[in-house]
């Protein structure tokens, strides 16, 4: 487990749009808490690849997981990776398409991905990843020994981290301000809908309270 403080490095310090840079640990973790999927990039023997993955945050590390046979994760063990989480909050419509933009919250994490091998630590990490999305770990069937063996969990320290946030209207040129063209923001919101039982659900098991509580709540 890493105890490294969250912060930028030479590789994660923003140079373009640095007025939107966020390095505060609490704000970075708030974005990670609101996100749903991380995109993980790594260089493999077949070239670079980026895949979306579920994740969780524990202390000062981000946790990701996948199948032991996943070629990307195999390559990522003890190798430099880049993890990104992005939340789109709206489209920014400017008076000219050149100035169109988006409002967003994003985090970039770079560092060494290390496999978690201690069984108890690995199980705890899997619970954190699962419960980041839907906290049903304590009400669902526990992972079997086979499930556990087939799953690889990696930890990346939150040491080289930066966030970038945009939450404003269009930035247009003065020459266009008195023109006839509309400008503004179209917000984007996501909510979880009511749970739909599986078509092969047998009997009448209760829907977990954690699942019921998700309905009509913000997805990010």
Question: What secondary structure does DSSP assign to 46-81, as a single string?
Answer: TEEEEEEE-EEEETTEEEEEEETT-HHHHHHTTEEE
The residue among 33, 16, 19, 30 whose CA lies nearest residue 168 is 19
pLDDT tens for 46-93 read: 888 899 999 999 999 999 987 766 666 665 568 889 999 999 999 999
DSSP state of 30: H
pLDDT tens for 90-142 read: 999 999 999 999 999 999 999 999 999 899 999 999 999 999 989 999 999 99
Give the model's pLDDT for residue 89.
97
Confidence check: pLDDT of 1 > 60: no
pLDDT tens for 173-218 read: 999 999 999 999 999 999 999 999 999 999 999 999 999 999 878 8
- β-strand 160-166 against 21-22: which pairing, if any? antiparallel
- Reported as a pLDDT band with limits 50, 70 and 90, residue 17 is confident
Q: For residue 28, what are its two tokens?
A: 């970075």
Q: Match domain 18-191 to its CATH number in 3.40.80.10, 3.40.50.720, 2.60.40.420, 2.30.110.10.
A: 2.30.110.10
Give the model's pLDDT for residue 77.
66
- What's the CA gap between 46 and 65, in Å, rounded? 21
């Amino acid at each position: 487990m890493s105890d490294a403080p969250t912060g930028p490095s030479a590789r994660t310090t923003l140079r373009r749009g640095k007025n939107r840079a966020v390095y505060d640990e609490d704000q970075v973790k708030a974005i990670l808490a609101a996100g749903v999927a991380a995109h993980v990039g790594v260089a493999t023997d077949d070239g670079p690849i980026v895949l979306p993955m579920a994740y969780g945050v524990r202390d000062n590390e981000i946790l990701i997981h996948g199948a032991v046979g996943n070629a990307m994760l195999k390559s990522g063990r003890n190798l430099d990776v880049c993890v990104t989480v992005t939340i789109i909050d709206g489209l920014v419509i400017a008076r000219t398409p050149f100035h169109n933009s988006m409002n967003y919250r994003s985090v970039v994490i770079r560092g060494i991905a290390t496999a978690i091998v201690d069984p108890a630590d690995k199980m705890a990490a899997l619970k954190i990843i699962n419960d980041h999305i839907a906290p049903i770990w304590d009400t669902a069937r526990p992972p079997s020994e086979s499930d556990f063996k087939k799953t690889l969990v990696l930890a990346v320290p939150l040491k080289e981290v930066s966030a970038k946030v945009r939450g404003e209207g269009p930035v247009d040129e003065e020459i266009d301000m008195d023109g006839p063209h509309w400008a503004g923001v179209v917000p984007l919101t996501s909510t979880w809908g009511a749970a739909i039982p599986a078509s092969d659900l047998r009997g009448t098991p209760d829907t977990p309270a954690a699942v019921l509580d998700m309905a009509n709540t913000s997805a990010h």
